[in-house]
Amino acid sequence: MRLSTTKPASVGSALRPKASIFGLTVKIILIGLVDAFGLFMVSQFFLVDQIGLAAVAILGLVVINVIYWRRGGLAAKYLTPGLVFLLVFQVFVIIYTVIISFTNSGTGHNVSKDSAIESIINNSIVRVEDSPTYDVRVLEQGGNLFLLATSPDGDFFLGGQDEPLKPVVPSKTASGIATEVTGYNTLKLAQIFAVQEELAELTVPLDDNPADGYLRSADGSTAFVFSANLVYDASNDTFVDPSTGNTFVDNGAGNFVDSNGEELQPGWNTAIGFANYAKALGASAQVELLGVFVWTLTYAVSSVALTFGLGLFLAITINGLRGTRLYRSLLILPYAFPVFLSGLIWSGLLNETFGFVNQVLLGGASVPWLQDPILAKISVILVSVWFGFPYFFLVCLGALQSVPPELAEAARVDGAKPSQVFSKITLPLVLVATSPLLVAGFAFSFNDFNTIFVLTGGGPINIDSSISAGATDILITLVYKQAFVNTTVDYGLASAFAVIIFLVITIMSIFLFRRTRSLEEVY
């Protein structure tokens, strides 16, 4: 007998005082720790000027304290620990993705506008052609950096940030390189390392005319003459090329462009409204996409159904056999290796010319397992079953344990055949415990990027496809191809696709849930 009714009673009677001192102490300590951490976070958010996040954190803390210190509201007390993480790392991520989907975030629009301007300014500073190389020392006075420069002609100059070079009389080395000037402290390499970020910013004008250029030293020992071929005009928010007068203006989509449409790189990250959705839905308008969608559904449904069916069948079949422990341990092995590894192995095994399956198992046949469009679809489903059946095997093993043996026993006593016991008692109970997982499993397979991508990359290729959809491409691998083209990554577009797929699958799942609910009510 599994469930002893006497045991809980005896345990319970030992605990008669309802709110034990021990329990209260634990509660105070735990909530105290949470509050401590929460207040710490709030203070840190303030320190880094994330006022909005600080407000959210305060609100969260208040809610948590209300939940745990008020009487009643028991459910909330049990749900809150998990919900906190769910809200922050799942719900918030979804919201964040929605936000990204309205931006041009991605390759070429990867930084803030300020950094983009800074980058353009830095990149526009080029060495003046045929200009001399100066030997320099980095000097310090009153916390400011200076460059002591020896020109190729053997003249000596000193200058600092916005202080043009002026001739000086320094101490110098035997080879005639200036090393020190009285009143200034010459920095050694180790000291220069300590101020390297300031040194990187240091531009010393050659003379009072900025157009003549600046001296800059990247390494602290040599300096070159630079001038800017673009000047940023902060008041108009434009870049001007001083030699041609060509003006680049903010085009509202994250780039400075001139009248010929030439863009300055880099661009920046900015909101672009519904453009990504227009693009995503434009791509979705293709009739071909319907085929991909149908295949995605077919893949998800057959993969889950077969995976679950096999897992359940094995869990039942192997139960109680001699050697069952060994069988079980071997059967979960596929699950213990990462999908991308076993996926590569399967793609090798199924190689038409060289693979183990054709060469060894089928004695040199050339079955195009992953090359024929139809066969490739069957192959990916079968391999996905290999990946997934141990999961459902484990889950069903657990679910089978929840079937009260008394029920089956009673049915048997009433004269039910073993097959009837299974179909009328065991199976419905197992389904009750696992049906929600079937929905989740469906959602997982629907977005099962790894299996498809590692096994076939979406292929075999269909070069007639206008959207590059291969025979085994499911929606998510197709999105990947659209939003991540080689080194060009479009996070905004990917996010818009993510939101669309999320909506589609949510609607389908709600429909499926309606069905499973009726299942659940059986119990």
Site pattern 371..410 for another protein (x: CB under 8 A):
x--------------x---xx--xx-xxxxxxxxxx-xx-
Decide: is 81 part of the binding site for another protein (CB under 8 A).
yes
DSSP H helical ranges for 414-490: 418-420, 427-446, 449-455, 475-483
CA dihedral 19, 23, 28, 31 (to 10 degrees): -110
Answer for which of 190, 285, 374, 413 binds another protein (CB under 8 A) is: 190
Instruction: In angstroms, give the least distance from the CB of 65 to another protein.
Output: 7
91 in contact with another protein (CB under 8 A): yes
Considering only the stretches 157-165, 204-212, 237-245, 326-334, report the one whose residues sit in contact with another protein under the rule CB under 8 A. 326-334
Contact status: 334 vs another protein (CB under 8 A): yes
Other beta carbons within 10 angstroms of residue 323's beta carbon come to: 9
> Does position 274 bind another protein by CB under 8 A?
no
* Binding residues for another protein, total number by CB under 8 A: 200
What angle do the packed helices 92-101 and 491-520 form, to 10 degrees? Answer: 140
Q: Shortest distance, CB of residue 178 to another protein, whole angstroms? A: 18
| Residue 511 makes contact with another protein by CB under 8 A | no
CA neighbor of 187 nearest in space, from 174, 198, 176? 198
Minimum Å gap between C-beta 37 and another protein is 7
Cis peptide before 404 (omega within 30 of 0): no
Q: Do the beta carbons of residue 169 and residue 179 sit within 8 Å? A: no
Query: Stretches 163-171, 193-201, 207-215, 296-304: which one binds another protein (CB under 8 A)?
Result: 193-201
Q: Which of 51, 62, 94, 378 binds another protein (CB under 8 A)?
A: 94
Q: Would you count residue 228 as binding another protein (CB under 8 A)?
A: no
- Answer yes or no whether residue 200 interacts with another protein by CB under 8 A: yes
Site for another protein in 150-189 (CB under 8 A): 189
- In angstroms, the Cα distances linking 277 to 284, 285, 498, 508 are 10, 12, 11, 21
What is the Cα–Cα distance from 164 to 374, expressed in whole angstroms? 75
Q: How far apart are the first and last CA of the chain?
A: 22
Binding of another protein by 423 (CB under 8 A)? no
- Round to whole Å and give the CA distance between 14 and 499: 53
Cβ–Cβ under 8 Å, residues 124 and 228: yes
**In angstroms, what is the minimal distance from the CB of 294 to another protein?**
19
Q: For 270, left (φ over 0), alpha (ψ -120 to 50), or beta?
A: beta
Provide the minimum distance between the beta carbon of 2 and another protein in the complex, in angstroms, as a whole number.
6
* Residue number, 62 or 169, with CB nearest to another protein: 62
Report the residue from 51, 176, 485, 511 that binds another protein according to the rule CB under 8 A: 485
Q: Among residues 290 and 362, whose Cβ is nearest to another protein? A: 362
Q: Can you say how many angstroms the Cα of residue 36 is from the centroid of all Cα atoms in its chain?
A: 30
Q: Work out how close the CB of 386 gets to another protein at its nearest, in angstroms, rounded to a whole number.
A: 7
Element (H, E) at 125: strand 125-127
Site for another protein in 23-62 (CB under 8 A): 23-24, 28-29, 31-41, 43-45, 47-48, 50, 53
